[in-house]
Amino acid sequence: MPVPMPSTTDKSTTSSVSAQTAQEVEKPSTQSVASVTNTQKTEAELEAEREAEREAERLYEERMEEEYAKREGGA
């Protein structure tokens, strides 16, 4: 499913984005500290993400095999 993209002609969105960008430029040190703490993850969190990725990949492969089996059977 496609992700909706904001319209470039929407003036209210553009002005709020500009204001937000201006605030971020004014306080770069606060932003960089926040970015560092948000990106640091524990080994357990990383392993949980990897496991979730592996499970999603397994389910995807399973569904694809089922879909191909349906197409081969109907042909």
**21-25, 50-54, 67-71: which has the minimum mean pLDDT?**
21-25
Residue ranges per structural domain of the chain = 24-74
Q: Of all residues in the chain, what percent are helix, strand and coil, respectively (each to 5)?
A: 80, 0, 20
The 10s digit of each residue's pLDDT in 4-51 is 777 665 555 555 555 565 555 555 555 555 555 566 889 999 999 999
Which pLDDT score, from 0 to 100, does residue 55 have?
98
Rounded (5°) CA angle 19-23-29: 160
Which pLDDT score, from 0 to 100, does residue 3 have?
73
